[in-house]
Structure 1
Amino acid sequence: MEYRRVGTSGLVVSELSFGAATFGGSGDFFGAWGNADVDEARRIIDVCMDAGVTLFDTADVYSDGASEEVLGAALVGRRDQLLISTKAALPLGDGPGDAGTARPRLIGAVEKALRRLQTDRIDLFQLHAYDAHTPIDEVIETLDVLVGQGKIRYTGVSNFSGWQLMKSLSAADAAHRSRYVAHQVYYSLIGRDYEWDLMPLGLDQGVGALVWSPLGWGRLTGRIRRGTPLPERSRLHATADAGPPVDDSLLFDVVDELSAIADEAGRTVAQVALNWLLRRPTVSSVIIGARDATQLSENLGAVGWALSEDQVARLDAVSHREAPYPHFPYFRQDGFARLNPPMFPRPALAG
């Protein structure tokens, strides 16, 4: 396991981290992900620790706080050996104060998370979504006070657009407040939109990416193949409409190439997909999940080795989609290309 700084901050995390959405899973949505109790969570954490994983990610909205509760109970006696990240902002109810990032909601969310997690501090606290109804200065000031109180060590965001993140960073800089160091984002071989705007922003502003759903909402496990039905246990039966959409032709082209490379490398499809992500700019940690220790061990096998340059190029080419206007670093006109060199070589066109 390698360890990386989150952006340009002092926070150091393992290159793979664990997403605890499967802990305490309940209801149709989170129950389809998994429902590990405290004993199973301890076993999973043991496997993670043996592999060198240091960061465990959760959120208040995961099974209405049950994920935080199970994670906290499973970490009793070893809290100081590990890092916890959690999130708040998404709706927990229908009341006017049950969603968003206004001062009362943020303070209450942190206090409740600390109790559920049985800890005195949150190593990384992230806003789960942008709240357009609350002034950015109020959000930045509230988080800065919580950092000053020691209840939060670092702050970050999740699922922000480029302008939302940049406006927030500018407001923090202008007020000399703590700025966001992490952006938890969707990024995978079948979802590379992050590269078009948010990755250049992260490079420029020193914001590290924590990648959620690196296997494309469960589509890049190797169990979904061209011309075959969904596996009986796939969570896509219950959650496909809630996850990032993907064109079937792109999915199956990518899976075919992943399968070929997996055979060459003596690895699984999932391991190859995760290893590709670990080589991308700004990626500080890739968040993996698992229903059980067996599935977890497979995902942990994504580290300790590297794809060849040829294999990376093949995956780049098969997963490439032209960036839309106005992302001219990827545009063909010579003038724009000279002003904005691309981060990745553009795949050669056929013919």
Structure 2
Amino acid sequence: MEYRTVGRTGIQVSNLCLGTMSFGANADEETSKKMYRRSREAGINFFDTADVYALGRSEEILGDCIAHERDNIVLATKVFWPTNADVNARGLSRRHIMQGIEGSLKRLKTDYIDFYFVHDFDPRTPIEETLRALDDLQRQGKILYPAVSNWAAWQIAKALGISAKEQLARFELIQPMYNLVKRQAEVEILPLAASEQIGVISYSPLGAGLLTGKYGVNKRPKQGRLVDEKRYTDRYLDEMNYVVADRFTTYAAERGIKAATLAVAWAMSNPAITAPIIGARNLEQLEDSLDAADVDMTPEWREEISSHSITPQPATDRGETLLPNWT
């Protein structure tokens, strides 16, 4: 396992992060703890969860797992989505953030979170309000660094400007979606992260299973996240995604490597990515993703794989020159 520095924080994390959304949901407690132990054996020291995963059960199970070695673990969790029926138990208001951190700390059985993510953008709450609440949590020692997931690049950039102007703790880690069929992060989010020295842990490197070999233009299982869960069905609805899946899985098979392993290795090979988040429902699925740590992905190989999908358009219409021609 390789270890990389998260932005400018000095914190060293494994180049794979274990996501625990399945803990207490698709994976029972026993299986979840086995996956945790296997990840630690493989060298993973970075774990990601959220207060809404399995209605808090994910945090509880992960808290049990890390209790005996908390100081050796880099821990991330999140706040935003509804945690109960109360109208204020959601969003990024100071009220919800302050309540959210206390609940997460209790479930995780710890007194601090390394990276505390805002899980989505809240149009009802001024960014300044959210950033001040996060800054207060850092000053209180309940979080080490604020982090952000599912915000647009302009929203993140605006927040960075506010943090600089008001001398507030800034986002030090970004969590965007990123895989071979969802490459939008390459346009602005990853360049922003590189420019501002912010770490990136990307999620969904397997495209909800699309890039594992189970799916294709003429291959549609009767069960699976892309079938059973509307958010994933909608996310990967475009037929071109299945064309790319066919191309990619055929390419992987021809080279004798599991598609899931190669998909994670491809995401991990982007220079702006600190660590892709891997997840699994069982140990067999986990092993395929863990094997990505042993793949020597060269820039040429990465480019060859990238050619199987559509490269997103640049952020501006003047991408033909790097510098203006002053002569």
Q: TM-score range by the shorter chain?
A: over 0.9
Could you list the per-position Cα deviations for residues 177-223 of structure 1 after superposition, in whole angstroms to 9, with x for gaps in the alignment? 11101111100000001111111211221222111111112211112
Q: 2:114, 2:300 → 1: CA distance?
A: 38
Q: 1:272, 1:209 → 2: CA distance?
A: 19
Q: 2:39, 2:141 → 1: CA distance?
A: 27
In the TM superposition, what is the alpha-carbon distance from 1:310 to its structure 2 partner? 4.2
2:306: which partner in 1? Answer: 316
Pick one of 111, 116, 137 that aligns with 2:128: 137
1:5: which partner in 2? Answer: 5
In the TM superposition, what is the alpha-carbon distance from 1:137 to its structure 2 partner? 2.0
Pick one of 268, 284, 296 that aligns with 1:306: 296
2:28: which partner in 1? Answer: 36
**Pair 1:250–1:166, CA change in 2 (3 A):** same
Pick one of 304, 317, 321 that aligns with 1:328: 317
Matched, 1:18 2:9: no
What amino acid is the match of 1:288?
I
In the TM superposition, what is the alpha-carbon distance from 1:135 to its structure 2 partner? 2.1
Question: Residues 269 and 297 of structure 2 are in contact (CA less than 8 Å); yes or no, is this contact kept in structure 1?
Answer: no
Pick one of 242, 255, 258 that aligns with 1:268: 258
Q: Summarize the alignment of residues 17-166 of structure 1 with structure 2, pairs less than 5 Å apart.
A: 17-25=17-25, 34-37=26-29, 39-166=30-157
Question: Residues 247 and 308 of structure 2 are in contact (CA less than 8 Å); yes or no, is this contact kept in structure 1?
Answer: no
Q: 1:41, 1:253 → 2: CA distance?
A: 31
Gaps of 5+ in 1: 26-33, 341-351
In the TM superposition, what is the alpha-carbon distance from 1:227 to its structure 2 partner? 1.4
Question: Residues 186 and 312 of structure 2 are in contact (CA less than 8 Å); yes or no, is this contact kept in structure 1?
Answer: no
Identity rate, percent: 32
Q: Report the TM-score, using the length of structure 1 for normalisation.
A: 0.86
In the TM superposition, what is the alpha-carbon distance from 1:313 to its structure 2 partner? 2.1
Q: Summarize the alignment of residues 250-265 of structure 1 with structure 2, pairs less than 5 Å apart.
A: 250-264=241-255
Gaps of 5+ in 2: none
Q: 1:315, 1:161 → 2: CA distance?
A: 26
Q: 1:225, 1:320 → 2: CA distance?
A: 16
Deviates more, 1:202-211 or 1:90-99: 90-99
Question: Residues 254 and 315 of structure 1 are in contact (CA less than 8 Å); yes or no, is this contact kept in structure 2?
Answer: no
Equivalenced residue count is 323
Question: Residues 217 and 244 of structure 1 are in contact (CA less than 8 Å); yes or no, is this contact kept in structure 2?
Answer: no
Q: 2:300, 2:99 → 1: CA distance?
A: 50
Q: Please report the RMSD computed on the Cα atoms of aligned residues, expressed in angstroms.
A: 1.9
Q: Summarize the alignment of residues 103-252 of structure 1 with structure 2, pairs less than 5 Å apart.
A: 103-230=94-221, 232-242=222-232, 244-252=235-243
Q: 1:282, 1:311 → 2: CA distance?
A: 17
Pick one of 308, 322, 325 that aligns with 1:338: 322
In the TM superposition, what is the alpha-carbon distance from 1:16 to its structure 2 partner? 0.4
Q: 1:56, 1:71 → 2: CA distance?
A: 9
Pick one of 267, 270, 275 that aligns with 1:277: 267
Task: Tell me the SS of whatever aligns to 1:225.
Answer: coil
Q: Report the TM-score, using the length of structure 2 for normalisation.
A: 0.92
Structure 1 outlier segments of 4+, above 4 Å: none
Question: Residues 50 and 56 of structure 2 are in contact (CA less than 8 Å); yes or no, is this contact kept in structure 1?
Answer: yes
What amino acid is the match of 1:162?
A
What amino acid is the match of 1:300?
L
In the TM superposition, what is the alpha-carbon distance from 1:114 to its structure 2 partner? 0.4
In the TM superposition, what is the alpha-carbon distance from 1:143 to its structure 2 partner? 1.0
What amino acid is the match of 2:317?
F
Q: 2:227, 2:295 → 1: CA distance?
A: 33
Could you list the per-position Cα deviations for residues 211-238 of structure 1 after superposition, in whole angstroms to 9, with x for gaps in the alignment? 11111122111121331231x4422221
